[in-house]
Structure formats: structure tokens, C-alpha cells
Structure 1
């Protein structure tokens, strides 16, 4: 679809949409009346084209909203609305996330959603004030779908009223009674910033999957009360409502009773204020088949709140947004939905503290080296089951596939929580081929609240295959996806046992943020101390906020604290690619120095650098610990000192393994690598042969976590294999070491083009090893070793 980049006045040919949005006057003109009578299909593609981020409607509305806000922000009452909106987003995210762009995106999105609600019931209302406040729908006996909120600031200006009328006229062109899916999530995903949604762990479920989950979990729709405690834009609510209405039609329930009855059986909760507004309108769209025949009023049961604890209720009492009454404890016969996926390391400091306390209370917290891998979805699942699910009630949640295999989810898999027990009785998986879907492979876990907990079964339903678009219908999904029933369960990753080498390899130091750790050497300055170099922050295109916008740190640093650093991209199979310079505030004896410690020991240069780094960290970090604690997280920096003269390092992640022998007694290893000190080169070569082999990779693939492009993380899963300790008298071990030595020679002779990226460099090395026949020989030897030969 062509994107219009010019205003309608300058279009090369007349465009009816552009004309409709070129300063349409109020009351409606003849052209607007014609457009209002025109007809558009309410499918996801058309919704996105007509109303999404790339649409003419949004571009024009965004410009007009910006002009309106420049005037409105001077009004104290309207400025208060924006401030309350910003405070609520900060409460939801645990950090500042607001900005004018987001404020205007939310305003547009809410206006469109409310116009859709009004257009659905075909009300001739033309007063945007009554529309945005909810008065028009309330007069029709529909409460809770549209209410006054932050975003009715637009109607304080006549130009804003005219804009709302234009949006209303545009929305009325859709045949909304024909909606068959959660079309509003298309707008939400298009218009709400991706980083904002990622921060909340929001990954919206496509309708084909939501429909299947609801039908499978809710087998008695007219009897079971269904709750989605993290409803987002309302996909699961939509299909739960339609599921109820289909059953009501088949059972002969009186049409006049259906709308009110379903509102007593299907409910939702969400923590995000805009998502709640969208979900309420989605719910109304789902009710469309029952609205015309309804008798009496009805109230849309979607409430604003934190399903895990009532923190938002206290904050919002009496302010702008109506919370709605959340269902009482033990209300639901069925819980469905897609809880937030947020790893502990990505949570704000406040959420991390709350998470630890609550996860320990529910019995799902995992400590030790897996602590940073804890995920909010595990806590949310346990907490929702505890609070809302009735005894013998059913739960069906969409979760990351890692839930079925990774150690951090072991308590969730057990089903044994402190206040509830779940028998997990069924699982579906969607592997990396099922795209577009989520950023990582997913699963659906089905269970029931019982007196005795039970882990997932050893057989599951496995989906594979690609889809033409993310918003594919269920019919398209059925045609394009392969379903394998009774597939074997995935192997659970082991974190103990296996090879003796498991305990001898360690993760490198968390040298982040990079700009405070890695440096470019500026060289000696005239008159400066020759034992110190002036260095400046090393920058790269992958930096994240807030670090990417901060100014460089520059200072002289004593030479003994400037060390080579090995990152993930530093190593190739059997060969060093490049090292990076870093400020490493550790003495030769392993003593870590902060700014004060450096000053006390007379290291003026290191003191200057650390003082600047600590200030930036303190002003911009989200974690509670100090900068020195950050780079020595879990002691992973201090444990490298004194630096061993001979080590084996391998990459933590990647599609193919990369390992090499390191003889540099000064280099520090970053957390993207694992390392082990070894006593002899023959043992180092033996390990490099195994860790670089395709045979070993293929055998541990089932244990790896998976991303969009397949298995990705190695961590220590290589040591699930029975790799024996090196024996200098064993011929097979010596043969592996000797072949690895030959591999080193070949790798060193591969010519790498100037400026080549490390991924391409690794591929060139592997090609050279394959061409020489060495890769095949190593694979055969590793197979013999692992098979006990």
C-alpha cells in the first residue's frame, strides 16, 4: 500500500481519503456525508491501512493534535490531566515513560476506540463531548464501555471538536457489525511504542491462537465464569464472549438475555490504562450480535488494576479513570490469557523488589545464578491462580516455551505454589517456525486447581509452519500450520550433573554499560604522566537508552587498569578475532577499587574515571546496586584475578558454537563468554575440539533456549553431555587435542576481509575447516568420545 508523503492539497491525483481529511469542516459537507455512507471491511489489514500509524488519518490527526496541545497545555486543568496520565504510566512501568509523542498517540487511539464504540450501535450522536465522556452510550443503557478520562482534553477546543467529528465520520465507514476478531489490537500495537510494550512484557496474542485456547479451555460457556487477568486489548475476551454467544444461540437462550448474561460470565483486568479503554471497546464489539435484541442496561466488566495486588486502586481513587470492580477472589471457573513476559534483569528496581517478595511468597522464586532469569510470567501465573481460580477451576495461559525446559521455571512446572496447587495436564508448543508470532517460541499450558500438584505430561501438541501474516485468521492458521498430536515433551535443561567440566567453567563479568567500561585509547598527552593514558568511552550503534544519549567519559587512567577485554564477538572457532580496551578497576592481586578506594591508594587517574562513571550510573541506572557491584555482579570480575595464563573460552550464545584457547594473562572475559583455567595446552585443545564441534551442538540442541531463529543459548548446556576429564594417556583424547591443534593452524591461515563482521568471520573459519576435512574428523572423534568409544 502506497504511503502518502504529501498533503492532500499537493497530491498528484485525487485521493478520497486525503480529501476527507483535508480540513473537513463542521457540520459535515456533502463529501463527508458520501464518505460516511461508504463501506469498509473491518479486517485487520484495512484497519491498519485506514487508521494505523502509516495511515493518512493518523498523520493528519497527529499534526492537528500537536497544534491543539500547544494551546491546551497552558490550561492548568488540562495540564493536570496529562500529569495524572504521566504519573499513572510511571506507576505501571516503574520509571518515567511519558512524552508528548506518546501522549498524542494515546489521545488519538482512545478517540478512535470511542468512535468505534459509538458507530457500532449506530447512534446518530454528533457531539464529541457526549461521545468522549461516555454520556451518549450511557443514555443507550451501556455503561463502562466509554467513560470520561484523561483524553477528553481534545473537546476543550472547537478545533478539537471538529477533529473528533472527522475521526467519527471516518470510523463510521467500517461495517463494524461484521467484526470477527480483536481488530483494535492492530491499532494498539501500531500506535503504542514498542519499547513501552516490551517494558510491560506485552506480546499480543493473535486471534487464531486466542480463539483456539478459549474454545479448548472453556467447555461449558453458559456455566463457567471466565477471567483474563492481563487482558491487554481484549483478544481473549473477544473470543470468550463470542464463544458464549454461540452456545447461547445453540441452547435457545432468549436473545434479550444474552448480552447481560455474558457480562456476568466473562471479565478482564489490565494494569495499563489505555489497554483497558481499548479492551472495553473490544468487549463491546464482541457483543455486537447480541446488542440489538438486548433488554435493559448492561455494564462492560473490564477493570483497571494490578491483578497481582491492588496498588493502582489506591493511586487512582477519585481520579480521571474509572477503575471498575475487579472480580472477587475465587470468582473464575476458567483463567485464560497471556500474562506479561518480563525477565528479572529487565525489571525496574522497584518491580525487582516487589517481584522478589511476592515470588518468594508464592514459592516460584529461583535464586543463585538463575536469579536474573526469573520471569514475571511465572509469578503472575501462580498469583492469578491463587487469587481468582476456584477449586477445580481451569487455567490456560500462553507462555514462553522456556517455561517447559528452563531451570528458572522449575517451580512453575511443579505446580506446587504456597497457596495453590495446579495439576498441569496439557501443553501446546509453537516452535520458532511459527512466525510471525512472538519474539521467542511459545507454549500454552493447561491445568486445573487441585489438592495435589502435578508437572506437565510427557506428551504434547506441537505446532509448526509459517503464517502469511501475524493477524491470520483461524482458518488460515489451520491451513498453514502442521499439528502433531502426542509429540514427546521437550527435554528439560539440566543445571547439575553431566560432565565434570560443568563446575570448572564460569560466566564472565557484566561489563555494562559499555560506555563506562570500554574505551578508545587517545594516547599520551604532552607533559602527562607516561604511566597513564587518556582514554574516552568507546561507543557503538547497539547502545540502549539512556546510555546512548549520554556524553563520552574522558579521563587519564593508569596503564595497569587498562586491560584487553574479550567480548562475545572477540572469538572465532580456534582463533582470536579482536580484543577491546577496558577500564578494569582491579589491582593485580584482585582488589576492586571504587572512586574512593582509588583515591586512597593514590591512583588519581582511575579515581577520576570512576568518579565520573559512578555519577552517571547513579543518575541513570534502574538497579539498586553501585557501579562497582554492577561490573562485579556475583563476583564474576574478581574471580578472574589473578588472571590465569592459559584459559579456554567459548561464546555464551549463537547459532553455532565458537571456542578458543587464550594465552593472554592480562585479558578480562565479558559475560558474553564462559571461561575456564586449564593447566596444559593439550587439555585446552581437547576442550576446544569438543566445544567447537557440530556433533556436540546437535546433541545439546534440545536443551537450548530458543529464539526466533532457532536454538540460541549455550550457557552450560554443553556439559549435559558426558564429556570426560582430559586424560593425557588416552589415545582418543590425544587424537582430539592433535586435531584441534591442526584446526588452530588452519584457522590462523584463513584470510579475513578488512572490516568483516564477526559472524561472517566465524563462517569463513568453519568453511576453511570443512574444506580441509578437519571439521569432519573432529565430529567423528567427538561422536566416539560421547558414545563411550
Structure 2
């Protein structure tokens, strides 16, 4: 019960503490006043406080007060007579030593407070540098601050608050990074992990976790230290989620923390009392219990137990909420993790699962369990409205809603979502043991042998060790999930306890000789792995990884979900070959060619899910990138007739079964990294004629998640079927002149008395588009550097381009001279350059930046610096044009992304960056013709459906505009001539407007302002209106 804030005794208690501080009383007197405050405010009971408590057994030293899990060390003056809150380092070291002794010698993971009554400093073992800011420190300025002190002690130091409400804010506040207790637990886990880096069990779990994470998310651009940090946080998450689930089902986790803290992650008591298998068990993240971390687990459990699990109602998505709290949004985006919003999962579930009591539903990429929870809610609602007895509901539900995911943490989230959503059904059930059907497995089945007789009888799991160890299981057993799961759990426990694991075969009545013989060999292998310290994970790993094979033999009525959207070139090498093989040879949906770099695995996941898991006549609905509706990389997939190059069979679907949903126009469109769609289909099997994804789609308009979303029918525009203008052949992307920090420069004044002839002095240019790691480098070596002017080039970038005209170009230092016709290439030279082709100062600079490039580029990047800049010959091509214009002596620039923008480039020697395209023209009339077309609103509207979509709409223009019917300029064509003349007038007017803008705002007008003002002028001026009228006639005709 919280203290009465109107009761004056609490202010008096705080005043007593402060008075003893101000008088400089003995430490014992201050300690006594603090003890009184803790007891009277009910932060701790008298029997929860110990005075003069040794931090470890045998220690001659003692902590002044121990309250709950917190050491309180009291001093007369914390700051050693200095003004303000500046804790004496010796005192800080003293409390840190106490905390270290307690943690290292088995007395528990504790928080510490160093205080003199006025200043209060929070510490924990491994806390690092002293922080006195809010949360980590508190200052009691006067007795009126007693309530704030009480709240600080309650929430951050003693963590004594009970019956914490189960709302998002409280969960984030007490279990996430905002809490000092969270930082303490993470630091402790990191130390445990670092001390156990040579433990074979921990190494195996860390390796398998990493392999599965890469399979789920693709290649992860992080070093080992960063991945270790993520592994530790995933460990914290899964431990807390497991404790939450146990507490929600009535397990007294506080008592378990005292009697058997290891079981908080092993889950034996939970399984014994609830009969629920496969929810809390020894997996990748149970390692703290195996390496001396039981005290930490106990501390964490006591903190989790302070929530009101029994009388409150934990939200079904609490596990996902915890995940989002611990792994921040920017990091989730970096990892490529995006979870489906609940409103979309609910809409899809209601659309597809129309008879929940008689339809089996599978989510083969179940992630955090959003679709699982919605399918369960749908089922339970139907069960409650039927004559089904409550005791039968869960048994039926268990066979009706199933999930698979290869992400090792996602399955924890989904299992928690499953049991919390099904809690009422579980409580009414009467099963002694039942497995929750959420499996950590490879839904695409790329990791299993298939296609031979042996694979029909056994499922083989690779251990991936130097001995090429395999664990084989009879398919007939795997298809009996209750028996298989319980058997594997018992085998692992028998091996762990030293009993004969073959007894488990008798316990579970495995009487078939073939099954017993196959399992005998596998059990022997598991015993060997245990002897090598590598057993603890394999029972969990194998029974989960084997489940997709068994599921593919049973088939389901409905598949629903949100598959991974990663590109093939982001996938793990070992799987990429198999992914491409299935895409090309099994289903014939590989687009390849110019679409290869854009092709993602979502289409393959959709097709393979139909093939492996969906019964003939069954239905599927999945969230896909918006490009699935229209882009070229999905063109073969959209046919619905998936026949591989080997031509052995054709799998057919009916995309016309339900109209696809176009979610691009919903606002805000930030729930996925790119706009999305939902595509439905019916499995027609191997004999029927496919119905392609064509005709109309249903576009959703309005606010994302709102009840009043408007749905309108619109035609599908297949961008791969659009024609090509001949200008596509005259258009070329600029060069990849990056890293910008190493190449672009700004001229500065030379500090010498005079400047060497034909040189300038430069600094690296810093810009908002600079990327890590380059923007964080120490560039002293190329700062205030004098360089020959022959190596300094004007370069036009997207930030130089405005409608019809340009702003000032940037300066770049390049490894060629202004009068060179070709690059001084030497493949064996520094950075791919023949150093003799460079001036002396440039030669030194080039060697410096090449070393920076090699030291800091991505490990997967094998290109030297020149090869990167001149990738696909994009720089060389510009030199060739400068040397010989041919019959196309004029260039215009076109934006690579965003709203179509173009301008004349009058400087022949200037270079063009990759953020722009350059287009050659026969004469100035043709240039004006193209400028008018590209800068028009009519063009922007016409090309938008052909462009790939980002969160903020049509994003990358590239050459998509040349899919429109834009004929090559013909001066004899009256419309062409009129467009050219209109373009010239608009260009002249834009130049005048820009000059006026610079007079008003200064020469350094930003590209954003210049584009905004010029487009406003174009839309209101006669010149702009004339352009629009003539271009509309061209595109309309």
C-alpha cells in the first residue's frame, strides 16, 4: 500500500535523514534514519533489512544496510567535502567491491546504493563510469522531496513496487532499457557470457543461434562483438518472456527463484503443473543456468514477479512488446525485422478463415505470433458460439492453428502469444501433456534431404561439426508430435542425469523395430555429444527442425502470414544456391536479367508454402511487397502457373479466388519498409489451368488501422509489360563517386604565404548524405591538403539539380587528369590505378584514401577503390563521351529518384554522380523537348505507377520513364516542335526565377527551396501551363 502523501510523518522522516547529514553525524546515525524511512514508507519490511551484512561468506567487511536485493553503504559525506554531487572514487570502489564479491561468490546479483542521506548514487556490478544523472543518481534537497526519494527507491533502486499494472508504459519502464535494473542484468549476462566463451555448450548454442538468425534475416552486417551483444539481449528477452508466461499461468516464480532458479529457464515445474510442452524449456538461451547464472535468474524473477500477473490480464502481445522495448526501432530496421500490425492480421484472418472450427491454419513465418493470436481469437469466438464443450476446445485448437519460424527468438514470442491467447481454453482443458504447436523450423525445407527413398523414411538434421555428424529420426515418429516431443525431452533428461536414455523408448512405447533401431543410433550420437559438452541443445533443436517435414505431409486448409522480404543477394551463401534453384528449376518464377538485383524471396516463400503445406482447394493469403502486384521481378510468379525449367510438373493457383489488396495509399504508410499488398490464391493442384494475378485489385484508402478505410477497385498496371522508348538506350547512370568523405572536397585558404602554381588547398567535404563508417573516420591525413587542380573535377549530384536548371556542382578529387581520355588503370596498382598517371600530390592522396577504403569497406566488398567508382564502367563511359560526342553532343541530367526532374548540362568536362542519369541529345531542340517532358506533372503522374515504392510513395525513377510512349524527337513533328519550344521557354523562365530567388535569399539557396519555388512557378506560369498541355497530348496520344 503506497504511503499517504498527506501524512506529515514521512516529511519528518526525510527531515531526520537530512538533519543527520547536515550535522555530519556518525554513519551509524544516518544509517538508522535511512532504515526508519524504508520501514515506515513500507519500501521494505523489518525482516527484509539486515544491518552489517557481509557481502560474501568469510568476508571481514560488512555492508551498512541490506534491503531486499540492495546493498546500501552509508558515508558521512559521499562527495569527500567537494561541492555538489561528486562521489569520492574510493567510496564508489568500496560499494563496487561489495557488489562484485556478492555476484562472484554466489550471494546474489544485487544493486548498490552509496549515500550520505542527501546524495544517493545507484551502482551495480560492472556499472562502469559514475553517472549522477536522473535514474542513476538522486539528490534530496529538502524534506519536501521525500515522495520523489520514495519513488526513486521504489522504482529504480530497491525495485520494491508490487502489483505493477500490465500496461505498455509500466512494462517498458520496469523491464526495458529505461530501468537501471535492466542495465544491471544485461551487464551481468555479458560478464557471464565472456567468462564462458570457451564453454562448448555455450559456443554451440551461440553458433546455432547465429546460423538461424542469418537464415531468417539474411547476411547481418555486424561484427562478432555486436552479435555477442545481441545474443546477450536475446537471452535476457527469452528468460523474461518465459517467466512472464509461467507467472501468467499461476507458477509462483518468486518461490521458484528461491528453491530452483535454474528451472525458471528449464520450465520443468511449468510443464508438470500445466502439461504444456514446448513453451519454456532448455534451448539456445538457457545457458545462464549452466554457467553459474542462477542468482541472476532469481533476481530477474523477483523483478518480474512484482507485476500483477494473477489479477491483471497480460496482453497477448506482451512478448512482442518486450521485444520492441529491448530491441529499439532503428536496430530492428537494420536487422530487417518488421512485424505485421494487428489490424491487418485481423482483417486477413477474418477474410480467409471463414469456418474456424473446421479449417486448419498454418502461419509458416509466424514471427511474433500476430496472425497466430488472431487465428486463436477467431477460433475461440466460434467455439463459444457453438455446442463445443469448453474442455474440448484446446484439443481441437491445437490441431487447428500452427506456426513455424526459423528465427530463434521469434518462436519464443509466438509461443507466448499462443498460450496467452488460448489461456481460457487451456485452463478448461483436461490434458496431462500437450505440445504447443509453434515450431522453430525451416518452412522452406532447404536444410533437409528430399527426393530419395531414404528421405521418405527418415529426417536427417545436420550438426554441422567437423565430423559431419547427423541426427536421424523416423518420419513415422515425427508425424506423432506429442510422442516425439515428449520422447526427445526425456532422452535429453536421461542423458543429463546419467540414466540409460534407451529407457525413454520403453516409457513412450516405441515398439516398432525400425523406429527403435533408427533412434538407437541417434541416441548414441547424442550421448557422445553430451560427453563432449555439446548435448544440451540437440533435443530441442532436432524436434523443432523436424516438424516442417511432418507438417508438409498432413497439409492444411489455410495458409496465412507475412513471409520474409529479403533479396536473394542478402541471403546466406549456403542457402542462396538452394533458393535460386527452387525459384528457377522447381517453380520457374526466377525473373533474372535486369530484375535479378530486385528479386526477393517472398514470391518463392509463397509458392513453396502452397506446394508443401496447402491441400488442393485450400486457400492462402500473404502480405507481400507492393511490387508483387506489378513489378517485373514478379511477372512469372503472377502467372499462377509455376513450372520449373526441369519441366516435371506445374503447380497452379487461382489468383482470382479473392481480389488482392493494395495497401500503398494507406497513411501513415510506415508499418513496413516499403508499401505492401495482400495477395490471395486457391491451390488448384498439378492438373488445373492457372488463373493469373491480373485485372483489378482493391486499393485501400484512408488511415492505417481505421474502421472506415475506403476500398476502391483499380486496374493492375504490369510494369514489366510496358513498352520501351528509344531514349532508354541514350540514358546512363552516373558514377558511384563515393565514399563522399574521401573524394568530395571544399576549397579553403592556403595558410602559406603563397599557393603553389596549379594547386588548391582542400578539406574533405562533410554532407548530410555521408554514410557510416566514412562519416566517423579521422580524416586528419587528408585535411588542409594541397592538390593539383588537374585532378579536381566539377561533379553534379542530385543536390545540384532543380527543374530546367542546375545549382553549383560539387568538387571532387579523382584519380585522373582533366585532359585524360581514359582512366590510368593498372589492376595491380594501388586502388587499381597506375600511380605514374597521377601528379605527385595526388599520388600521395590516392594512396592514403585507398588505405582508408581497404581498412573500412564492408568485408564482403572485394572491389578496390577505382573498381568501386568505375563500377560497370560508369565513369569511363563519361570520359569516352567527352572524348568523342559522336552525333549526340549535348547532355541533359535526370534525377535518379523522387519526382522527375531534369536540366541541361552545359559543362562538357563535368562528371555526373550515380544520383543522376545523363542523356545525350542530337541538338538543343531535342534537349528542350526532353526537359519539358521530364519536368512536367503529366510525366510524374504517368510514371508513378511504374516506379518501385518506398514508405513515402514512388521512390526510384531510374529508367522507368522510358517505359512510357515517348517517341524520339522529330523536328518535323508539330507536337514535338511545340513541346521543344515550350521547354525552351520554361527553361529560360526557370533560369530567371532562380536568379531572382538567389537575389532574395543569397547565392547559397538550398536545393529543397529551389525545387519548391520553381515547381510552384511552373504550375502557375503560362510557360508551365503550356508545357503541361503539350506533354499531356503526347502521353495521352
Q: Per the shorter chain, which TM-score range?
A: 0.7 to 0.9
What secondary structure sits across from 2:635 in the alignment?
Answer: helix
CA distance in 2 between counterparts of 1:363 and 1:81 reads 42
Corresponding residue number in structure 1 for 2:733: 507
Alpha-carbon distance, 1:396 to partner: 0.9
Match for residue 275 of structure 1? 410
2:439 matches 1:303? yes
Contact 2:805 2:987 in 1 (8 A): no
1:56: how far off? 7.0
**Which segment drifts farther, 144-153 or 49-58?**
49-58
With 260-269 and 556-565 compared, the bigger mean Cα shift is at: 556-565
Taking the aligned partners of 2:1006 and 2:440, their CA distance within structure 1 comes to 48
Q: What is the aligned counterpart of 1:764 among 1013, 1017, 1023?
A: 1013
Q: Who is 1:472 aligned against?
A: none
Cα offsets for 1:191-220 (capped at 9, x unmatched): 224455335532211111112212222233
1:431 paired to 2:650: no
User: CA-to-partner distance for each residue in 1:718-754, whole Å, 9 max, x for gaps?
Assistant: 2333323222343424432432342343244232435
Q: Which residue of 2 aligns with 1:620?
A: 857
**CA pair 271-700 structure 1, distance change in 2 beyond 3 A:** same
| CA contact 1:115–1:171 (8 Å) conserved in 2 | no
Paired with 1:533 and 1:150, the residues of 2 have a C-alpha distance of 59
Structure 2 residue 269 is the aligned partner of structure 1 residue 136? yes
Question: Distance between the aligned counterparts of 2:573 and 2:773, measured in 1?
Answer: 15
Measured against aligned partners, the alpha-carbon deviations of 1:317-363 in whole angstroms (never above 9, x if no partner) come to 84547232422235333221111222456667777666545543443
CA, structure 1 residues 430+639, in 2 after alignment: closer, same or farther (shift >3 Å)?
Answer: same
Question: Does the CA-based 8 Å contact 2:932-2:979 persist in structure 1?
Answer: no
Return closer, same or farther for 1:562/1:780 CA change in 2, 3 Å cut-off.
Answer: same
The equivalent residue for 1:341 is 565
Instruction: Say which SS state the counterpart of residue 460 (structure 1) adopts.
Output: strand
- SS of 1:379's equivalent in the other structure is helix
Matches within 5 A, 1:216-615: 216-296=351-431, 297-311=433-447, 314=462, 318=535, 320=537, 322-323=540-541, 324=544, 325-328=546-549, 329-330=552-553, 331-343=555-567, 356-361=580-585, 362-417=587-642, 418=644, 420-425=651-656, 426-435=659-668, 436-450=670-684, 451=686, 452-467=689-704, 477=705, 479=707, 481-484=708-711, 487-494=713-720, 496-520=722-746, 537-552=764-779, 554=782, 560-585=790-815, 588-591=820-823, 593=825, 594=827, 596=829, 597-599=832-834, 601-603=836-838, 605-606=842-843, 609=846, 612-613=849-850
1:156-186, Cα deviation, whole Å (9 max, x unpaired): 346514422333213444756574x534323
TM-superposed deviation, 1:100? 6.1
* Distance (whole Å) between structure 2 residues aligned to residue 336 and residue 569 of structure 1: 44
CA spacing shift, 1:64–1:200, aligned 2, 3 Å? closer
2:878 aligned with 1:640, yes or no? Answer: yes
Q: Distance in 2 between matches of 1:437 and 1:272?
A: 20
Partner of 2:185: 65
Alpha-carbon separation, structure 1, partners of 2:412 and 2:354:
29
Q: Which residue number in structure 2 is paired with residue 147 of structure 1?
A: 281
- In structure 2, how many angstroms separate the alpha carbons of the residues matched to 1:200 and 1:311? 22
Determine the C-alpha separation between the residues in 1 that align with 2:322 and 2:156. Answer: 22
SS, match of residue 660 in structure 1 = strand
Are residues 707 and 692 of structure 1, via their aligned partners in 2, closer, same or farther at CA, if it must alter by over 3 Å? Answer: same
Aligned-partner SS, 2:439: strand
CA distance in 1, matches of 2:770, 2:310: 43
> Alpha-carbon deviations, 1:544-565, whole Å to 9, x = none?
4444444447388765554322
* Higher RCO (Cα < 8 Å, 6 or more apart): 1
Q: In the alignment, which residue of structure 2 is the partner of 1:115?
A: 243
Change (3 A) 1:658 1:74: closer
CA distance in 2, matches of 1:583, 1:79: 51
Cα distance in 2, alignment partners of residues 187 and 585 from structure 1: 51
Q: Secondary structure at the match of 2:404?
A: strand
Q: Structure 1 unaligned runs (5+)?
A: 26-30, 468-476
Q: How does 1:691-706 map to 2 (within 5 A)?
A: 691-706=934-949
Instruction: Tell me the alpha carbon deviations over residues 18-38 of structure 1, each in whole angstroms, 9 at most, x when there is no partner.
Output: 55444548xxxxx65xx23x6
Change (3 A) 1:408 1:138: same
CA distance in 1, matches of 2:1022, 2:905: 24
Contact 1:490–1:702 (8 Å) recurs in 2: no
Q: How does 1:740-759 map onto structure 2 within 5 Å?
A: 740-752=986-998, 753-754=1001-1002, 755-759=1004-1008
Separation in structure 1 between the aligned mates of residue 368 and residue 989 of structure 2, nearest angstrom: 55
Q: Which residue in the other structure is 1:470 paired with?
A: none
Worse-superposed segment, 202-211 or 339-348: 339-348
Which of 1 and 2 has greater Rg? 2
Could you tell me whether the CA contact under 8 Å between 1:24 and 1:166 is conserved in 2?
no
- After superposing the two structures, state which structure 1 stretch, 700-709 or 511-520, moved more: 511-520
**CA–CA distance in 2 between the matches of 1:522 and 1:326?**
66
| Equivalent residue number for residue 774 of structure 1 | 1023
The answer to whether residue 299 in structure 2 is matched with residue 163 in structure 1 is yes
Partner SS state of residue 326, structure 1:
helix
Aligned residue for 1:421, secondary structure, equals: strand
Is the Cα–Cα contact under 8 Å of residues 348 and 622 in structure 1 kept in the other structure? no
Q: Which moved more, 1:596-605 or 1:282-291?
A: 596-605
TM-superposed CA distance for 1:429, in Å, is 1.7
Distance 2:157 2:994 in 1: 67
Q: Give the match's secondary structure for 1:488.
A: strand
**What is the SS of the residue equivalent to 2:306?**
helix
Superimposed CA distance per residue, residues 110-160 of structure 1 (whole angstroms, 9 cap, x where no aligned partner):
233112211221122422422222112221211111112344455534651
Query: Post-superposition shift, 1:538?
Result: 3.8
| Alignment correspondent of 1:786 | 1035
The CA distance in 1 between the partners of 2:665 and 2:151, in whole Å, is 39
Distance in 2, matches of 1:670 and 1:658, equals: 15
- Mapped to 2, the partners of 1:250 and 1:638 lie a distance apart of 72
- CA shift for structure 1 position 592: 6.6
- How far did 1:666 drift? 1.9
Cα–Cα, structure 1 residues 61 and 454, in superposed 2: closer, same or farther, change >3 Å? farther
The alpha-carbon deviation at position 73 of structure 1 amounts to: 4.1
Alpha-carbon contact 1:509-1:671 (below 8 Å) kept: yes
The answer to whether the aligner puts 1:657 opposite 2:900 as a matched pair is: yes
